[in-house]
Every structure is written in C-alpha cells, then in structure tokens.
Amino acid sequence: MNDDSFFTLSVHAGEDRTANFGALSVPIYPASVFAFADADEGIAIHNYEKEGYFYGRLGNPTVDALERTVAELENGEAGLAFASGMAAVSAAAFTLVGSGDHVVAPESMYSTTTNFLKHIGEAFGVETTFVDAADAEAYAAAIRPNTKMFWIETPSNPLVRITDIAEVAAIGKKSRVATVVDNTFATPFNQRPLELGADLVIHSATKYLGGHSDLTAGVMIGQRDLVEKARHGAAKLYGGNIAPQVAWLVLRGIKTLGLRMERHNSNASALANMLLEHPKVAGVYYPGLEHHQNHEIARRQMRGFGGMLGADVGTADAAKSLVDNLKVCTFATSLGGVETLIQPVALMTHATLSPGERAAAGVSEGLLRISVGIESIADICQDIYDVLG
Ligand SMILES: Cc1ncc(COP(=O)(O)O)c(C=O)c1O
C-alpha cells in the first residue's frame, strides 16, 4: 500500500456497489428477525449451509458491512463486530484459552483488560503472567507448556509503551501460542499487526474508529477460521453483538479515519515536544520522542505515532488543578474522538489498581493521559500553558 492509499481505503473499504440499489451509505437494517422464502432455504440458512440472515444476534447486513470494512482496513481475512471493546477483548480470550491455560500479557495496559485477565484467573483458572512488554524476550521467558495466548497492547494505555509485535508474534509462532494485539491506540492507519505476524487484532471502536465520542463498539479481525470460531463460540454464546444502528455510525466514522489520524498524529507530536520544554512537566511519554524507551521499534512498526500521550505534572493536586481549569480541552475519560480529552490517570482509570500495582504499571500520581484532538494545535497548547503557567 502506498502512503496515500489508506485515505482511499478509509473511504471505500467494504463497499459493495452491486448491493442496496447502489446506495453509497450502507442502509441500517434494524431487523432482529429475517423471514425465510421456503423450508429448504430456511433450513440451509439456519444451518449455515447457505449465506443469509435469520436472527439479529447471529448476523445482520449492516453489521456485515462493518465487518468487511474493518477486515480490509487491517488487511485481515475476516472481521467480527461487538457491542464494546471489552466484548471484543473477552471474545478473543474465550476463543483462544480455556480452563487451565496460561496467558502472557503486559503489566501496563488498559486497566479493565488487566482486571478481566485477573477475573478469568480467579473464575476459570486461566492464569496470566504480567510482563514488561517493552521487552519481547519477557514473553519468551514467561512461556509455560500450557501457554495459549500472548496479549499485546501497543501503544499501551496510558503510558504509550511500545511492544515489538513482529518479535513477540514470532516467539509465539515457534511455541504455538496465538498473539492478539489491541490496536485501539494505533489504528490501522498507523500500524497493521496482522502484517507483522499477529493472529488476531481487536479494537475498542468506541475510540478512533468511531472517532466522534458518540458510540460504544468493538471489533476483531484475523484469519477466517479464528474469527469464525469466535463468531460461533464466544460471540454467539456471550451475546455481545453490536446494534446495526451503531455499526452504521462506526462505518461513517471510518470514512474520515485517515484524515483524522493524520491530524491526531501531527497534533500529538507537536504537543509532546511542547510539553517536553515545560519546566513544570516532570515527564512526557510519546513514542515519537527520541528518548522514548522503544522509539526505534515504534519507528519500524508504525507509520505515525498516534494521538495519545502521557504527561506527568508532578502531583495529583497539580493534575486535578489542570483539568479543573481547561477551556478548550475537555476533562473526560475516553479517548480517540475529535476533541482533546485529558484525564488524571491514577485518580480515574487506574484507581481500581492498588498503589503498588499502579507503581508497577509505571502510573505516577501526577500522570495525565491526553487524547490529542484535531483542534488547532496552537489553541490546545495555549489552553494547557494558561493553566500550567
Ligand atoms: C486500549 C483499550 N482497549 C480496550 C478498551 C475497552 O473498550 P470499550 O470501552 O469500548 O469496551 C479500551 C477502553 O478505554 C482501551 O483503551
């Protein structure tokens, strides 16, 4: 793919000009039930011997369009959509591991994924070893005979740590361990894990894929056999299916994914460099900065460095005072929308972890997570400078 063709892909991925009277916008099919033409056809569709739809949880044309689209964006064989990113996370895990199996995952990542892995440890005996994912060899060292899944989140939430996808996936392949990459922060504009050897990619589509802070959704992409296993197993049994109305909103968001990501990348890079110079900022975390621990790996596997960064303003009080006084940027907890969102990490997303766990995850009390939006970078910087002084 040449540098610019992702912009074309964002606009046209998944489209079928022969369907729906040529409608450029995929119609929303709200139906939860589809009638059969006759007994033979009904039985064939119901038993997956013939293509078609019969029940909302198990397939819908609008949802199908989204699944085709995200599969193309990630250069995967098949896609599967969910009601949330966590439904995609849990479906990936339940597709690849069972009772008594073992998982290797980052010690610093989205805290609900951490808590989910701990939960399946307690509930089902699926043990997870949490490692320093900045070091690919840590995955190799953690392998046990019953290891079935490597989990990667890169850049990770909230410290934008970078994991070498190709290296971890290669270690996994040698030991018949499947590698799953949470590609929420990077998006396929910046990084395509399946091309680097990963087996499954998941996203919280709530974030950049949707892009407008107006929906909750998740997706999974990978080889067809694995995705179909998820569709007929975890997705069907646990039922976290996406609503067609929401699938349509994600599809609309994706049309501008390339444009938005280009701007998120450049704004975040400018803000990271600006904060680096500020005397009250004790640390800046951004994979595009040369001093970032794995900057070289990020350069190799990413096209741009993303819209997320971390900034340590020293104390929890300083972090609170900053979010209390913003005028352009918004104090809110999500990420990946067009607006700049800032949140104090230790007091919010990582509040469920113990202080020791937070310290192990590298989350200091003054850490702010900044989802840099697509506003004027001058206005974003001025807003933060006005408060920091
Ligand atoms: C990296 C990452 N993965 C997964 C999720 C979960 O997504 P959702 O909130 O859509 O369930 C989030 C949410 O913040 C996230 O940041």
Over residues 221-259, the pLDDT tens digits come to 999 999 999 999 999 999 999 999 999 999 999 999 999
Say whether 110 is catalytic. yes
Domain that residue 84 falls in: 5-254
Helix, strand, coil share (%) of the chain residues, nearest 5: 45, 15, 40
Over residues 86-143, the pLDDT tens digits come to 999 999 999 999 999 999 999 999 989 999 999 999 999 999 999 999 999 999 999 9
Q: For ligand 1, atom 7, which residue shows the shortest CA distance?
A: 85
Residue 74: count of CB within 10 angstroms of its CB = 27
**Are residues 317 and 262 located together in one domain of the fold?**
yes
Q: For ligand 1, atom 13, which residue shows the shortest CA distance?
A: 204
List the CATH number of the domain containing 134. Answer: 3.40.640.10
CA atoms lying within 13 Å on the CB side of residue 38: 1
Q: Say whether pLDDT at 271 is over 80.
A: yes
Q: Using the mean position of ligand 1's atoms as its centre, give its distance from the Cα of residue 85 in Å.
A: 5
How far, in Å, CA of 72 to CA of 192, rounded? 11
Cβ-based neighbours of 338, under 8 Å, separated by 6 or more: 211, 212, 213, 260, 373, 374, 375
Domains of the chain: total: 2
Mean pLDDT for all residues in the chain: 96
CA atoms lying within 13 Å on the CB side of residue 55: 9
How far, in Å, CA of 375 to CA of 379, rounded? 7
Cβ-based neighbours of 95, under 8 Å, separated by 6 or more: 200, 226, 229, 230, 233, 234
Residue after which a domain boundary falls, among 205, 236, 254 = 254
Q: Is 218 in the pocket of ligand 1 (CB under 6 A)?
A: yes
List the CATH number of the domain containing 278. Answer: 3.90.1150.10
Over residues 158-176, the pLDDT tens digits come to 999 999 999 999 999 999 9
Pocket test for ligand 1, best of 108, 112, 190 (most atoms within 8 A of CB): 112
How far, in Å, CA of 238 to CA of 84, rounded? 13
Task: Tell me, yes or no, if the pTM score tops 0.85.
Answer: yes
**Are residues 266 and 205 located together in one domain of the fold?**
no
**Are residues 59 and 204 located together in one domain of the fold?**
yes
Q: Is 108 in the pocket of ligand 1 (CB under 6 A)?
A: no
Q: Using the mean position of ligand 1's atoms as its centre, give its distance from the Cα of residue 238 in Å.
A: 18
**Are residues 13 and 134 located together in one domain of the fold?**
yes
**Are residues 374 and 278 located together in one domain of the fold?**
yes
Query: If pLDDT is split at 50, 70 and 90, which confidence band does 354 have?
Result: confident
CB 160 within 8 A of CB 287: yes
